[in-house]
């Protein structure tokens, strides 16, 4: 064996788990803290109002907030319209700064209080894209996050047709994933950790490895998409530990918090690609046919998905209110 080959094999052995994962999965940073994003060099990043709010509490971002608020005080708006305008600009400002760090895309969330409002979601998505484009950011680099309710997916469908790419979030079930595929959305975010939380509490036991219900849910969706040649990207989200991440190695994308990226970067244990398109093709899955009645019934029959979707919307909505109160206090 040549010296060059030996050296190459040595290098392969010393790659950390995060770098190994990047070889077959697009790693996405789950944070609005672009300094930590810079450290781990992900391809994309995802944000939401709670992550942006957490970042606004850090002194290093104070100048950014003051700049946005100073600029938007001249907007001529007042009351709730002014607060909404400032929050929109703040979310987009964080997104623009993140796009200076990542080479790919950033996800920016619509107001969770619009989760059952088709027209409201469409209007908000168009507004956010407009703000990005005014700053010279092409819409191809932005994913608009919308809750994967029936109404949210119905909003994403026409948005997709007009070139606004959507990330359907708060996903906990196959019917949600199938409806998103029908709408041809760009990307979905099935939540691993919150599914795991529900089953751990309900069944009064822990789960590890491939038996983790959150891991199983994403695997099932991934297999379905690859089996039926669905182009929508699958991005596992909401992780509680590195074990869940490693069980989904090979997924199209995985959005990971800085803490878990750090843990992966400190381990050189080998990472095996668990999700493989060719393997998914051979799985025995029947195509699911949906209309609104069947979608709502199947979601209702899934206690975990029903509860976690409702809870997720409430929590994200509360985070929007928290951000609005923060902005109000700054005026």
Alpha-carbon gap, residue 237 to 218, rounded angstroms:
9
DSSP 161-184: HTT--EEEEEE-SHHHHHHHHHTT
CB atoms < 10 A from the CB of 67, how many? 13
Alpha-carbon gap, residue 35 to 39, rounded angstroms:
7
Alpha-carbon gap, residue 48 to 318, rounded angstroms:
12
CB atoms < 10 A from the CB of 85, how many? 17
Hey, which residues are catalytic here? 145
Alpha-carbon gap, residue 169 to 309, rounded angstroms:
10
In 3D space, the residue among 47, 311, 292 whose CA is nearest the CA of residue 189 turns out to be: 47
Question: Tokens 């959150």 correspond to what residue?
Answer: 214
In 3D space, the residue among 101, 99, 103, 95 whose CA is nearest the CA of residue 43 turns out to be: 103
Q: At 73, phi and psi to the nearest 5? A: -65, -20
- 194 contacts 238 by C-beta, under 8 angstroms: yes
Alpha-carbon gap, residue 202 to 69, rounded angstroms:
45
């Amino acid at each position: 064996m040549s010296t060059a080959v030996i050296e190459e094999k040595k290098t392969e052995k010393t790659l950390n788990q995060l770098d190994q994962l990047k070889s077959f999965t697009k790693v996405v940073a789950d944070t609005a803290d672009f300094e930590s994003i810079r450290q781990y060099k992900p391809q994309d990043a995802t944000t939401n109002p709670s992550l942006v709010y957490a970042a606004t509490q850090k002194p290093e971002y104070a100048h950014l907030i003051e700049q946005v608020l100073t600029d938007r005080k001249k907007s001529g708006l007042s009351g709730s319209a002014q607060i909404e305008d400032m929050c929109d600009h703040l979310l987009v400002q964080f997104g623009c700064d993140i796009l200076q760090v990542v080479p790919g895309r950033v996800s920016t969330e619509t107001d969770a209080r619009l989760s059952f409002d088709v027209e409201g979601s469409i209007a908000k998505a168009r507004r956010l894209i407009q703000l990005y484009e005014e700053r010279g950011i092409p819409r191809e680099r932005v994913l608009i996050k919308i809750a994967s309710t029936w109404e949210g997916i119905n909003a994403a469908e026409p948005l997709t047709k007009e070139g606004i790419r959507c990330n359907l979030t708060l996903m906990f079930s196959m019917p949600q994933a199938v409806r998103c595929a029908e709408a041809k959305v760009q990307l979905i975010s099935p939540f691993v950790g919150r599914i795991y939380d529900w089953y751990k509490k309900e069944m009064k036991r822990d789960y590890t490895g491939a038996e983790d219900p959150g891991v199983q849910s994403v695997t099932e969706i991934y297999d379905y998409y690859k089996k039926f040649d669905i182009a929508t990207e699958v991005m596992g989200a909401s992780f509680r530990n590195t074990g869940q991440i490693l069980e989904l190695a090979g997924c199209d994308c995985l959005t990971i918090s800085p803490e878990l990226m750090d843990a992966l970067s400190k381990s050189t244990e080998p990472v095996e690609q668990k999700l493989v398109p060719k393997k998914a093709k051979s799985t025995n899955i029947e195509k699911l046919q949906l209309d609104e009645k069947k979608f709502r019934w199947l979601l209702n029959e899934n206690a975990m998905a029903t509860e976690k979707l409702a809870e997720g919307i409430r929590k994200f909505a509360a985070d929007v209110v928290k951000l609005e109160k923060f902005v109000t206090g700054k005026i």
